[in-house]
Amino acid sequence: MRVRRTLVAAARGLALAVAVEAGSVVLLVLVLLSLALLVVGVGVLTTPVVLTWARRHADLRRVWAHELSGVRIPAGYRPFPPVLRRGPAGRWQRCAVMLRDPATWRELLWLVVDLSVGLALVLLPATLLVYGAGFVLLPVVQGLTGAGGELLGVGSLTVDHPLLLLAAPVLGAGLLWLAWRGNPALLRAHFRLAAAFLAPPQAVLADRVARLTETRADAVDASAAELRRIERDLHDGAQARLVAMGMELGVVAALIEKDPARAKELVGRARESSAEALAELRDLVRGIHPPVLAERGLGDAVRALALRTAVPVEVTVQLPRRLPASVESAAYFAVSELLTNAAKHSGADRIAVDVRHVEGRLLVTVCDDGRGGAAVRPAGAGGGAEGSGLRGVARRLGTFDGVLAVDSPVGGPTTVTMEIPCA
């Protein structure tokens, strides 16, 4: 088993070396060239693209670090504003956000280190194996071909110093022992070196842990409230109807021979009660997880919401594929809450919903032409049902590291933007 781990570590090291040469070298050159082009303005167009490539390259190394060596490298990128300006101003804004992010400069420094120390660490496992086996077999190869020294790069030393042929197997055994003991550790050292540059500072991680703790508490509270709602709806709705239906059927059993007409009437009422109970159960299931969302995805589910909304809703969906079920569910119920708020409180004549996937994030925008004045107000600050609804949406998105932005000047229009990471 230890021999297998040694060989696997050497093979993975060679594969990583190719990734370093093909990825880090090219990206470092492109980033430096793009930064230089900022002077003439062209870099505003190229820098966000190249830095996005660099981030994906770093994210891939994070995945490999966890899968190959169990090393976790958290990402600490600053989020983009939920709403980016259009045109040249938006490109400047995007470029400025990425250049002001400390993670960008940590990645640039990591690319330099990855090409030197990082490359050496991933090449060492295979180097130890190759040279170890070569020195062990050097006397045999030298005796058979006379060119064993040339194959290992020691040239005429095997002729000028015959004792090297005797010492070579000992040296080779030492190198093989080092490979046997250290190959997995060398691979892990490569990823720990990457973590030293790519991981955010401890203060940033502490803030993130605090935020995740808060959102986890919100998620637990929301889940408990949802469970209480389901229990209340079952108790006051379908359960009560089913109990009444059972009692009516009991009376039917007693009257079926004495008063068939009365029994027939009660059977009809029981049938109506069963239909109403079934409808209530369907509504309850739809509130937990709508069938259209599970079967047809977020786009069609939002269109179904639009059809049930009292105000005319225009829906635009640009999704390349199905998203994770948890993300779809969070977005669906958030949109449902926003449409309900707009229909009840805004006085809007039209609502527009835009759903799209942008660089690994789900971006949802809900706009209405109502009276405006909406805001996410803290608990206990008043603001009525609308402020409470927006606060609930913010709490739901916070569980996914999502962002809610509300732009609602008095007099309208109101634009609510939601951003949810899909990874």
Residue 33 sits in the same domain as residue 79: yes
Average pLDDT for 13-33: 86
What are the strands, taking DSSP E only, across 307-371? 313-318, 351-358, 361-368
Residue 252 sits in the same domain as residue 355: no
Residue 300 sits in the same domain as residue 230: no
Torsion 5-11-15-17 (CA) sign: positive
pLDDT at 384: 47
3-state helix, strand, coil in the chain (%, to 5): 75, 10, 20
Residue 22 sits in the same domain as residue 109: yes
Give per-residue pLDDT as tens, 109-130: 999 998 888 888 888 888 888 8
What does the longest C-alpha to C-alpha distance in the chain come to?
A: 122
Give per-residue pLDDT as tens, 178-190: 888 888 888 889 8
β-strand partners of 356: 318, 363
**Of the ranges 71-75, 84-88, 355-359, 416-420, which one carries the lowest mean pLDDT score?**
84-88
Residue 76 sits in the same domain as residue 162: yes
Report pTM.
Answer: 0.54
294: its two tokens: 């599970």
Helix H or strand E segment including 271: helix 260-288
Give per-residue pLDDT as tens, 207-227: 666 666 666 666 666 566 666
With beta carbons less than 8 A apart as the criterion, state whether 97 and 217 touch. no
Most confidently modeled range among 36-40, 235-239, 281-285: 36-40
Number of domains in the chain: 3
Residue 312 sits in the same domain as residue 365: yes
- Which of 362, 294, 295, 296 shows the shortest CA–CA distance to 334? 362
Query: What's the CA gap between 336 and 302, in Å, rounded?
Result: 8
Residue 180 sits in the same domain as residue 66: yes
With beta carbons less than 8 A apart as the criterion, state whether 14 and 126 touch. yes
- Pick the last residue of a domain from 134, 166, 198: 198
Give the count of beta carbons closer than 10 Å to the beta carbon of residue 404: 22
* Percent of the chain residues past pLDDT 70, beyond the cut: 74
- Is the model's pLDDT at 16 over the cut of 70? yes
Residue 191 sits in the same domain as residue 227: no
Residue 275 sits in the same domain as residue 409: no
Give per-residue pLDDT as tens, 393-402: 777 777 677 7
Q: How many helices (H) and strands (E) does the chain have?
A: 15, 5
pLDDT at 230: 63
Q: Which domain holds residue 282?
A: 205-288
Residue 378 sits in the same domain as residue 403: yes
- Pick the last residue of a domain from 150, 165, 198: 198
Confidence grade of residue 160 (pLDDT, cut at 50, 70, 90)? very low
Query: What's the CA gap between 234 and 229, in Å, rounded?
Result: 8
Give the count of beta carbons closer than 10 Å to the beta carbon of residue 385: 11
pLDDT at 110: 92
Q: How many residues does the chain have?
A: 423
Residue 297 sits in the same domain as residue 284: no
Query: What's the CA gap between 25 and 20, in Å, rounded?
Result: 7
Give per-residue pLDDT as tens, 26-56: 899 999 999 888 888 888 888 888 998 998 8
Average pLDDT for 337-354: 83
Residue 280 sits in the same domain as residue 297: no
- Pick the last residue of a domain from 165, 198, 231: 198
pLDDT at 383: 46
**SS3 state at 104:** helix
Helix H or strand E segment including 25: helix 25-36
